[in-house]
Structure 1
Amino acid sequence: MKRIFTRISVLVGICLLTINVAFAQNITVKGRVMDSGDKSTIPSVSVLVKGTQIGTQTDPSGAYSISAPANATLVFQYLGYTTQELPVNNRTTINVELASSSQQLEQVVVVGYGTQRKIDVTGSVATVKGEEISKQASVNPISALQGKVAGVSITNNGAPGSSPQITIRGTGTIYGNTGVLYVVDGVWYDEISFLNPSDIENISILKDASSQSIYGIRAANGVVLVTTKRGKTGEPVISYNGSIGFKAVTNQVEMANATEYATIINELSASNGASPLFANPSSFGVGTNWYDQALRNALQTNHQLSVNGGTEKTTYNFSLGYTNEDGIVKTQNYKRYTAKLSNDFQVLKPLKIGYTVSGTSINSNDIDGAIFRQLYTAGPVVPVYYADGSYGDANDFSLGGGNNFNPQVTLDFYNQQSKNYRINGNVYAELTFLKNFTFRTSAGGDFGQNEVRGYTPLYAATQGQRTTQSTLRINRSETRNWILENTLTYKNTFGDHSITVLAGTTAQRRKSYFVNATAFDVPNTSDGDLYLSLGTAATRTVVDGGSLSTSNSYFGRVNYSFKDKYLLNATLRGDAASQFYGGGDLWGYFPAIGAGWVVTNEDFMKDQKVVNYLKLKGSWGKVGNAGVPVNPTTLTVSQGGDLVAFFNGVGYTGANINSLVPSFLNWERTTGTDIGIEARFLDNRLSIETGVYNKKTEQAIFEIPILSSIGTASGSLIGNQADFQNRGFEFLATYADKSKSGFSYSISGNIGINNNKVLSVVTGQNPIYAGGAGIANGALATRTIQGGAIGEFFGYKVAGIFQTAAEITGSAQPSAKPGDFKYVDQNGDKIIDGKDRVVLGNPNPKFSYGLNTSFGYKNFDLSVDVQGVAGVDVYNANIAYRFGNENFSKDFYDNRWTGPNTSNTYPSAAVGSTINAAPNSFYVEDGSYIRVRNIQLGYALPSMLMSKWKMQRVRVFVDAQNAINIFGYKGFTPEIGGTPTNAGIDASVYPLSATYRLGLQVTF
């Protein structure tokens, strides 16, 4: 019995000792972090328990408190200082002094197929961190880059879920795919609307040909590399990032009210020799404000939840995202669901494998693309509804014809939904062998399905807005893309020499397929199910099609450094693309070379204290563009009942050539030269990057018009027909510092200057005209010609307004009326015709700039971003796009010509006449603007409170995006996109809106 009691006593003792040890494992460590130089305290220093995700930050006085194992190691990190690792060794107080460093020079920059230290980069590569992107209220991550990178121009569209246009160092191509190449975790994409901004670790923008050439056939318009977040070793970290807010229209265009409208319509009737439509204009009062009727403050919510962690053998990152965004137009809505999972496995010491897979589901309720045109033109004398509940009808006011509709009818009866499902990602294996070699193989894919289903029921709302049969439209498309890549990297340092050699291969296939179907007389069943089979079989139509392209590539790169002073980078890539098979250069070769000199590492710079870092760099390279339709040299014909051929007096179904095609097509190539300087001053507080570039597109694939008498359907010929040039200058300066009181700040400004020019066109001085979309009477408002810019505005120069009939007599415009534009007779032949047209403006911005600031004090943080463009013109096509009695803007009403000497700048109410609506200088306005892109104020709860709640961080924030906009343009916004030869034409652009949010960020 005694023996049993003794054993139990020993067992209990062991258990108590174990429990005591368990509770004694963690101790509370406190201390203060200071600058080793001036001994000032440093706030917001990251303090982590090494090997875990447990951490905290120093408070405004530099103090910290953290619970850690007695034998742990603490890691102290802060931008601009050398990271320190200190063992706890049972200490409860650890004070730390951090030494200033040139950490940014050691920063790892993501480049094509790998990474480099920033000090080793010889090309022009800009990097934006994911935390900067997630601060913005943008659904698309590219929108968040606006104003942050010199030489990068981004044009946003206000529609929910829309993809912005991005141009890197000017327009380099005008045919086929003019967009940049996106590479997300090694997989190639044309756009990244599927990507949740909160999933991004960083974005690298390759701006010069030297850095782009490793991507050969797709790099001519620039490359954007996106690295998403992956797992990190340590305990699981759960993060939530959510916000709720609303979007509101800014700079809304004021339209004439009902009384003003009736007054000016009477003037228009008189100018046409007709009787007044309205006997008493003042009786209508204010009338209907159609913008107020159709637009709204739109709710926006966003939620993202992620889990991150792992061990030395495996790491993981999982995230879920949800976005629900209403459009500023009533009935419009956009919902996006995202899920992403990545895993990395250290299978063996030399072997690592992993994968990333993401899924996206997007559902939207769409709006009629014509709604903004209708809102601009709808007569305010027309009520939304009559007293009996029926729709107000423009025809009841003799306003039929033209664009005078009741927009509410359009909103109520337009029924279209879009659904997009997408899954993409990649899997890789990475093997390190013989110490210096790494072999990596990866396979990626992008698989998606998009369906647009629209239904128009039988209805009779007004005389002009009714249908006689219902229509169901279903458009379905699929993408099936894959990419296989293999790379072998040799990396070694011996003595003063450092070298990295990369060799690789790529194989790709891009396949798309679509089916467009229409059925009439489809009943609207009670349960809402709509099927093509319900329609009339005799009128049902189905059209399908698709495309398939493949490519094979080989590439290599050598990076060499001697004593971190002399840098050399050389790249060569060869690509074969099926687009050119059988009718062009199947293979294209793209070389590049870059060199750098780190001057401050020279002995003669060692003792000076003015310049902390100075690097001179230069590069040259050639890249290509394969973004053209499949088989562009294949001649196609069409047959139809309207085509008849007679042989021996017998009629047969004829055929017609669809388009003329070239017998041979060369690669479109872009050659770029870049010279730059990187420097740091004032103990690394001030950094400067600046450079000049010359980018030339050679043998650009271009369309030129041909005579319609030849009989082709397209009226154009595709070929290597032009050379373009973009020359520019870029400058970026950043100053970052902190005070002893704990106030820290960073101010960064950038500017890009670009000049676009057409060097040659195969047609010589015969111009290429375009820009007819949205222009009254289909007139062409842009011209591309040798010596000018791509898509420059072209038309008549307005000299004033004809005041009297006597002034018209004997003029070069005998058919004009008083109140019409008076055009300049450029050639003095007393006739105003096409020969008198001149260049009116340039839609290609000359200047783009940004100012990005961040401030921190105690637990508060504030960031303010300003962005703008200058030296750009836009064409306001809304004013003259008239076919009847449409409304006028308040600006036009207040300044119009109403009689002799009333105005010499604005025409009469007959602005839509053939004479006045012709493209001219009146419609070309300054498109410069400056806006406060984003303001965000945040507050992080104190670290002591977080420890009590078992949380790492809780931050609340409020922000406003696009709340302040300054511009002189008379439309909603001068930020207008478009294809290169149709850019800058405002034909009812989606209005600009500001976003206001309240958000919460929590980390467990």
Structure 2
Amino acid sequence: MLFLLDVAYAQNITVKGEVKDDQGLPIPSASVVVKGTTNGVQTDANGAYFISAPSNATLVFSYIGFNTQEVAIGNRTRINVTLSTATNDLQQVVVVGYGTQRKIDVTGSVGTVKGTDISKQASPNAVSSLQGKVAGVNITNSGTPGASPQISIRGTGTIYGNLGVLYVVDGVWFDDISFLNPADIESMSILKDASSQSIYGIRAANGVVLVTTNKGKNGSPTISYNGSVGYRAVTNQVEMANATEYATIINELSASNGATPLFANPASFGTGTNWYNQVFRNAFQTNHQISVNGGSEKSSYNFSLGYTNEDGIVKTQGYKRYTARLANDFQIAKFLKIGYNVSGTAINTNDINGGIFRQLYAAGPVVPVYYADGTYGDANDFSLGGGNNFNPQVTLDFFNQKSKNYRINGNVFAELTFAKNFTFKTSLGGDFGQNEMRGYTSVYKATQGQQNNVSKLAVNRSEDRNWIIENTLTYKNTFGDHNLTVLAGQTAQRRKNYFINSTALNVPYSSDGDLYLSLGSAADRSVIDGGNLTTYVSYFGRVNYAFKDRYLLNATLRADAASQFFNGGDLWGYFPSVGAGWVVSNEDFMKNQNVFNNLKIKASWGKVGNAGVPVNPTTLTVDQRGGYVVVFGGVVYTGANVNSLVPSFLNWERTAGTDIGFEASFLNNRLSVEAGYYNKKTEQAIFNIPILSSVGTVGSEMLGNQADFRNRGFEFLATWSDKSENGFKYSVSGNIGINNNKVLSVITGSNPIYSGGQGIANGALATRTVQGGAIGQFFGYKVAGIFQDATEIAASAQKNAKPGDFRYVDQDGNGIIDGKDRVVLGNPNPKYSFGLNTTFEYKNFDLALDIQGVAGVDVYNANIAYRFGNENFSKDFYDNRWHGQGTSTTYPSANVGSTANSAPNSFYVEDGSYIRLRTVQLGYTLPSALTSKWMTKKVRFFLDAQNAINIFGYKGFTPEIGYVGSPTSRGIDASVYPLSAAYRLGLQVTF
């Protein structure tokens, strides 16, 4: 009866119209909703809409980036609306957890990026497009085609387990969105503070990114095509010593070690082989997407197909992605709406050997790619000096590995509106994926050091089976000066992973690529079958209250239970938050002032959690091996040993954050400013702590709640937007984030946590995490100069040094250089991140320029000293090396790889700051008079470049270096994938 009374209070009529911006241009995908209901539609590509609504109702028109407008129908059947631009204005609509809010009502810190800005980027991964666009968000890209970038929001959120942010795509939770076509995205909201994140509880420790995909639009079908073609090229390629220079410096290395010079006449080799030029290429890339949108007042649809083909800058490397997506919404009745969206992705890659970049840096230029007879140049050929080296072309030619990834995901939902102010929504989402890697090593003999006598096939396969159910009940009402929204919800999740890793030897080669484990020797097969299961159940609630649009209150509480903590831990975690805001500009005493168009002051506090720990982390396991045996009376008994120490109890890792800021606009909303201060403290952080092998365990680390650390900083965003009477329109937006990371306490007291051993010579650890310092600071010896002669050595604390070695500072003055003389050398955590984003439009032309960079950060160049024989040197090292008394006081001799010189020290720590022209794009839209003759609505051509200009002082390929395994190993360059620039020509057509 309530339903019938609600739908019958007024007679429905059909209202039509157009929604345009203040330039008179149509706004596609604008939202048109009957106020107080979920009955709504979206405008088509021409900004047109039609909707069925009661004759006395009010329509609410909104679109991200524009002021929301409410219009009473008043029995009218046609209503045209013009929405005014509200860039960073308090009236724009933003996506938040489990819904949307006007920006005026948001008390937390939320950054929004439009889908049009995301799809402009040349990267196939949408996360890369966020770089430089949101204050406090730091993106570290990988040059590998299709690879997901590392993202941190307001500094390091956690150290152990799942280090990535939570992505929520249309209500479904993901760890990664590399499967998603950027052209399918309508907007991305980045939840930065604990108040906005706490609604996601256990997965919000590293931040939350909400992704809203394109939905169907009311109106006749609209077909859109977006395509581009171009190439990628290596930028800032490291110049290596040529063959003559290489032979010269290798002779010096031999002499330093008391050996006979290897090369009688270095000049005879000329320039030799440039291995980078041999293996690198200009990599072809193309991207195409076609979409169809349409609908009626009863249903809407959106369908898209996408294809991406991107070669790697290394020959033979390739990445192909195929995407398909379908979304439908159905208005079954005024009070009931149902819908679904489903997407499928197939990714195929040709992989490369992960060590190829190390080989390219180290390969001797005296070695030819091929000899005159067509055989491979041999790095162990003693006529070429011999040595521990490679021919990278062999590695490239005999590496045969392909990967495939298939994924289907989506959700179905139903929304029921009842008693006018209540909306119940239920949603079921799923994510099902399969990954397979097949790698084959054939029998070959290319050189003395690069050969294989037994063929091997490795097949690794994994499957993900995840589902999530969410139910929410929302009460929304406006009475008098009060605006109240109450949300209550429940979530259940199940995440299941299976994997099989298998190998077989003596698998015969097949020219058609049909290689199977069953073809190998039965006695030489191995299979590891495993998996893990985690389940979660959650309850949450939120209250949003506003009085006269002046005084705002937001309170959230979420309770999560995770199966990882079922034994030996707190099963339930509770994550509260509260936020408050004061819209000063809506006060009566502000009505006559001419400074602020809008001014809001806000503050918030909240807690979030981290459930990214292994299954059963407190369960003690044992191992039985053949070595654990004892014989009694001639009978062999097998024993067991503890695998590793585990904590008896493990608490939730929690992050508590405080946020204070303001938002303001001036000069008729042309200038908008946002600024904020945050203090984010991670409590009982989960670390692996090294333990003594004397305790009898196989492992050398123990998991536990080991430390507290803090990220504290400032964020600032300013945007100026304006237009002229002659049609020139522009926007300039700049942002900067300042973050300071500090370890507040460690359970082991002053005992540090050492890490960062990957790529470091002699297995040394280059980072230290200790109370009072930042996470993963570089740690080692301070270089005071280079020993010039035996006299200097005799008077030093390094009696065993050689001329040309580093002279270290004796920090404690005891006349001995040992571990106690090590000091902090640098910080791999960026202190400053900034971006400048601009758009210009004049008549049919448009131009976008994006600049991005970081500062106050250091990187560790591990490439220089990581050598075991006669590896090559960079041209910079060759030109500046010590090769006799007085030749250098900063660079060591060719003996840089010795134990004394390769120890972590300040020479290898360099400034990692950079500034980059992230994107420049010039577009031209054909006049409508011309496109109408071609039966099209819009035709736009564009040219763009990405990463075309890069300014930095680092001596490697790129200072944009993330971490391997853990943030305690951040910023170590052990042959990272080189940076590349992309150049494209594109076409966008709408029919």
**TM-score in terms of structure 1 length:** 0.92
2:988 is the alignment partner of 1:1001: yes
Counterpart position of 1:356: 341
Shift of 1:83: 6.8
SS in 2 for 1:106: coil
Shift of 1:528: 2.4
Kindly provide the amino acid, as one letter, of the partner of residue 347 in structure 2. I
Counterpart position of 1:60: none
Cα 1:54/1:193, change in 2 over 3 Å? closer
Counterpart position of 1:972: 957
- Correspondence list, 1:51-130, <5 A: 104-130=89-115
CA contact (8 A) 1:246 1:297 kept: yes
- Correspondence list, 1:691-770, <5 A: 691-770=676-755
Whole-Å separation in 2 of the counterparts to 1:843 and 1:239: 44
Whole-Å separation in 2 of the counterparts to 1:502 and 1:229: 25
Deviates more, 1:985-994 or 1:104-113: 104-113
1:955 corresponds, among 937, 940, 944, to 940
CA contact (8 A) 2:222 2:294 kept: yes
Whole-Å separation in 2 of the counterparts to 1:561 and 1:48: 28
- Correspondence list, 1:242-641, <5 A: 242-397=227-382, 404-641=389-626
1:198 corresponds, among 171, 174, 183, to 183
2:201 corresponds, among 216, 234, 251, to 216
Whole-Å separation in 1 of the counterparts to 2:646 and 2:26: 64
Kindly provide the amino acid, as one letter, of the partner of residue 908 in structure 1. S
- Correspondence list, 1:541-940, <5 A: 541-646=526-631, 650-940=635-925
CA contact (8 A) 1:496 1:563 kept: yes
Cα 1:620/1:475, change in 2 over 3 Å? same
Cα 1:763/1:291, change in 2 over 3 Å? same
Counterpart position of 1:39: none
Kindly provide the amino acid, as one letter, of the partner of residue 374 in structure 2. G
Shift of 1:172: 2.0
SS in 1 for 2:901: helix
SS in 2 for 1:641: coil
Whole-Å separation in 2 of the counterparts to 1:780 and 1:96: 64
Shift of 1:645: 3.8
User: Alpha-carbon deviations, 1:479-520, whole Å to 9, x = none?
Assistant: 001001100000001000010000010000010011011111
Cα 1:949/1:103, change in 2 over 3 Å? farther
Whole-Å separation in 2 of the counterparts to 1:97 and 1:460: 73
Shift of 1:369: 0.2
Counterpart position of 2:165: 180
1:984 corresponds, among 963, 971, 977, to 971
Shift of 1:101: 7.1
Cα 1:765/1:52, change in 2 over 3 Å? closer
Cα 1:648/1:503, change in 2 over 3 Å? farther
SS in 2 for 1:138: coil
SS in 1 for 2:625: strand
Whole-Å separation in 1 of the counterparts to 2:113 and 2:62: 23
Cα 1:771/1:648, change in 2 over 3 Å? farther
Shift of 1:943: 1.1
Whole-Å separation in 1 of the counterparts to 2:193 and 2:933: 51
Shift of 1:651: 3.5
1:144 corresponds, among 123, 129, 137, to 129
CA contact (8 A) 2:846 2:924 kept: yes
CA contact (8 A) 1:77 1:83 kept: no
Cα 1:757/1:86, change in 2 over 3 Å? closer
Shift of 1:810: 3.4
Q: Which blocks of at least 5 consecutive residues in structure 1 are unaligned?
A: 1-28, 36-41, 58-65, 88-93
CA contact (8 A) 1:960 1:994 kept: yes
Kindly provide the amino acid, as one letter, of the partner of residue 986 in structure 1. D
Whole-Å separation in 2 of the counterparts to 1:115 and 1:81: 14
Cα 1:527/1:48, change in 2 over 3 Å? closer
User: Alpha-carbon deviations, 1:927-953, whole Å to 9, x = none?
Assistant: 000000000000000011122222111
Cα 1:790/1:662, change in 2 over 3 Å? same
Cα 1:160/1:34, change in 2 over 3 Å? closer
Whole-Å separation in 1 of the counterparts to 2:480 and 2:24: 40
SS in 2 for 1:395: coil
CA contact (8 A) 1:45 1:78 kept: no
Whole-Å separation in 2 of the counterparts to 1:154 and 1:263: 41
Counterpart position of 2:36: none
CA contact (8 A) 1:565 1:599 kept: yes
Aligned length: 954
SS in 2 for 1:283: helix
Kindly provide the amino acid, as one letter, of the partner of residue 956 in structure 1. F
Shift of 1:85: 9.2
Deviates more, 1:141-150 or 1:656-665: 656-665
Whole-Å separation in 2 of the counterparts to 1:191 and 1:406: 36
CA contact (8 A) 1:377 1:403 kept: no
Whole-Å separation in 2 of the counterparts to 1:751 and 1:766: 35
SS in 2 for 1:367: coil
Name the % identity. 76
Kindly provide the amino acid, as one letter, of the partner of residue 143 in structure 1. S
Kindly provide the amino acid, as one letter, of the partner of residue 641 in structure 2. N
Kindly provide the amino acid, as one letter, of the partner of residue 960 in structure 2. E
Whole-Å separation in 1 of the counterparts to 2:802 and 2:698: 39
User: Alpha-carbon deviations, 1:281-311, whole Å to 9, x = none?
Assistant: 0000000000000000000000000000100
Whole-Å separation in 1 of the counterparts to 2:314 and 2:486: 54
CA contact (8 A) 1:266 1:277 kept: yes
Shift of 1:395: 1.1
CA contact (8 A) 1:400 1:464 kept: no
SS in 1 for 2:367: coil
Shift of 1:402: 6.5
Whole-Å separation in 2 of the counterparts to 1:417 and 1:99: 51
Cα 1:611/1:648, change in 2 over 3 Å? farther
Whole-Å separation in 1 of the counterparts to 2:397 and 2:500: 27
Kindly provide the amino acid, as one letter, of the partner of residue 548 in structure 2. K
Greater Rg, structure 1 or structure 2?
A: 1
User: Alpha-carbon deviations, 1:519-539, whole Å to 9, x = none?
Assistant: 111001243210101111111
CA contact (8 A) 1:783 1:794 kept: yes
**TM-score in terms of structure 2 length:** 0.93
Whole-Å separation in 2 of the counterparts to 1:329 and 1:694: 43
Whole-Å separation in 2 of the counterparts to 1:658 and 1:52: 59
Shift of 1:642: 2.2
Whole-Å separation in 1 of the counterparts to 2:298 and 2:874: 66
Q: Which blocks of at least 5 consecutive residues in structure 2 are unaligned?
A: 1-16, 33-40, 51-58, 74-78
